[in-house]
Amino acid sequence: MGRFLAFGEIMLRLSPPGRELLMQTPKFDVWVAGAEANVAVALAKLGHDVGFASALPDNDLGRAALTNLRGAGVDTRGIQFRGERMGLYFVTSGAGMRATEVIYDRAYSSFAETPTEAWDWDALLAGVDRLHLSGITPALGPVPAATAIAAANAAAARGIAISFDGNWRGKLWERWDSDPRGILTQLVAQADLLFGNHRDIALLLGREFSSDGEERRREATEAAFAAFPKLQIIASTARHVEHVDLHRLSARIDTRSDHAQTEEVVLAGIVDRIGGGDAFAAGVLHALRSGGDSAEAARTGLALAALKHSLPGDASLFRQADIDAYLAGGLDVRR
């Protein structure tokens, strides 16, 4: 089956209980979080051999995060202990017509401060056949950006496939004198699989796309394929938000020669949308690793993303049986 390695920062997410505002009452629900860690956990829950490379402080917070990943079945040997700070972020869940709000507190974290030369890519990539990266790591600052590029180059030099999730985080890029297009272009240039939509591609290529709907998405993917010779698959979702608790979501896989598009599904009574994109990425990777075609990858990615919306916290904890039950339909009690 091969082995995945995900690389990125692992954090703690703090949210006020229910739909309360931040500090409305002095309580927080706490989850282990991080886009790349979410993908690693989801893949492990689906039965894959997956490791995670990161850096954590050697204190109770860092040890708890590592234990959480181990408990999910993720190989944590690639996590090093260094520095003194755990990255945090705060999520105030929206309700009705009030949007969800995110506050980052991750500057000077152990991961962000780890020097590029501190990562042993020979050891980390041994036995790996796919490296998963995201655009969040380079958004953290010049050192993480250089490290992400070094990781991609190391994998490419060893013939290891690379999947890259755009995961645009404007609040992080704005914190420093960054060059998002220049940095992200170097990363996507090494990837064979991109998770991103027409807006991500517009940023990468410095151009807009004039068509609309599915035609615009195909126009964008064809432009990306022309610009990045290694790129073979682009996976994306389209989300329409009616209000915080009611969304419509569809998925799409584009290859150089064809595409697969799902119907929209209605997500009603949403519990937590954070991490839905990571669940989609994990579902697509799972389906492709299991021998599925583009249509199967789109269906599976959408199914896992939809299921994640029913679960509090960042990571998808569902197994193949849950995906099968979702795709079979029926919401009555399963006895």
Q: Could you give the percent of the chain with pLDDT greater than 90?
A: 93
The distance of Cα 333 from the centroid of its chain, to the nearest Å, equals: 31
Mean pLDDT of 56-61: 98
Verdict on whether the full-model pTM lies above 0.85: yes
Distance CA 15, CA 115 (A): 31
pLDDT at residue 30 in the model: 97
Average pLDDT, rounded, for the chain: 95
pLDDT at residue 32 in the model: 97
Mean pLDDT of 86-96: 94
Indicate whether 1 pLDDT > 90.
Answer: no
Indicate whether 282 pLDDT > 90.
Answer: yes
pLDDT band at residue 48 using 50, 70 and 90 as cut-offs: very high
Mean pLDDT of 64-85: 97
Residue-wise pLDDT for 111-140, tens only, equals 999 999 999 999 999 999 999 999 999 999
Specify whether the CB–CB gap between 80 and 51 falls below 8 A.
no
Residue-wise pLDDT for 175-217, tens only, equals 999 999 999 999 999 999 999 999 999 999 999 888 777 888 9
pLDDT at residue 311 in the model: 96
Mean pLDDT of 26-54: 97
Indicate whether 110 pLDDT > 80.
Answer: yes
Phi, psi of 332 (to 5 degrees): -70, 165
pLDDT at residue 96 in the model: 86
pLDDT at residue 215 in the model: 87
pLDDT at residue 139 in the model: 97
Token pair 């010049």: residue: 142
The distance of Cα 96 from the centroid of its chain, to the nearest Å, equals: 26
pLDDT at residue 331 in the model: 73
Which residues, 6+ apart, have CB-to-CB distance to 130 below 8 Å? 2, 3, 4, 5, 160, 161, 162, 163, 285, 289
Distance CA 172, CA 195 (A): 19
